[in-house]
Every structure is written in C-alpha cells, then in structure tokens.
Amino acid sequence: MTMQQDGYRVGRFASNLEDIDREVARLAQLCRVPLLQRGVVERVLHGDDSVCGTKNSRAFVKLHDLLMLHFAVREKSADQLGQRQTAAIEMVVVERLRKSFPDLAADWPPA
C-alpha cells in the first residue's frame, strides 16, 4: 500500500468518526447527557436514559444507535489502521468536540 493510499484511509476514517461524533454530541446536548463524564457512555450503550437531563426518547434512541455505530467504525478502523493510529484519530476528534461542545462534560443543568 502506498503512503497516499494509507493517508486516504486515515482521512476517511477520521472524517467518518468526526461526522458520527458531531451528531452524537448534538444529540447528547439535546438530551442533556454529560457524555464526557466517566461512565456515561457505557450507561447510554446499556440504554440507561436516567443519564438524560430531559426526556426525549427519540433523541436518546438515536444517541444510543450512533454510539453503537461509532464503536463499529472504530473497530473497523483498528482492524485496518491499527490501534495506535485509531487512538490518535480519536484523540483529535474528541479534542475538537470538547472545543465545539464544552457542555458535554458538564453536569445538567449547567450552573
């Protein structure tokens, strides 16, 4: 595989994860889920809507499903690019989301 092909694959996975995670962040804000707090992602994946600061069943189901999609894409990325490259992609995506969606780490309601 050429460097150009590898760069394309990395860019494709980064773009896919960023698109998915941006929508995850939007839905988390809509549901008032402090997604970046420890243990919250796992609770959403297990269908625990008590992490929501508001009742929005449709948005919560979409949030759950997109988180599942995130992990499926992440697994495929790890298979094709390796764990190290995938972790580096995720760090960049999470940092961008922290800047764009600072409320994802906050308690609801915000102070």
- Residue-wise pLDDT for 32-61, tens only, equals 998 888 899 999 999 999 999 999 999 999
For 12, half-sphere exposure in the C-beta direction (CA atoms, 13 angstrom radius) is 11
* Contact (Cβ atoms closer than 8 angstroms) between residue 12 and residue 84: no
Kindly indicate the confidence band of residue 108, based on its pLDDT and cuts at 50, 70 and 90. very low
* Residue 1 reports pLDDT greater than 60: no
Number of independent structural domains in the chain: 1
Please indicate, yes or no, if residue 18 is contained in any of the structural domains: yes
pTM: 0.81
Please indicate, yes or no, if residue 111 is contained in any of the structural domains: no
Q: How many residues does the chain have?
A: 111
Region of residue 12 (left: phi > 0; alpha: psi -120 to 50; beta: else): alpha
pLDDT in tens, 2-29: 556 678 888 898 899 999 999 999 999 9
* Residue 109 reports pLDDT greater than 80: no
Please indicate, yes or no, if residue 73 is contained in any of the structural domains: yes
Q: Which residue has the higher pLDDT, 34 or 102?
A: 34
Q: Which domain holds residue 49?
A: 3-104
Please indicate, yes or no, if residue 12 is contained in any of the structural domains: yes
Kindly indicate the confidence band of residue 104, based on its pLDDT and cuts at 50, 70 and 90. confident
Please indicate, yes or no, if residue 109 is contained in any of the structural domains: no
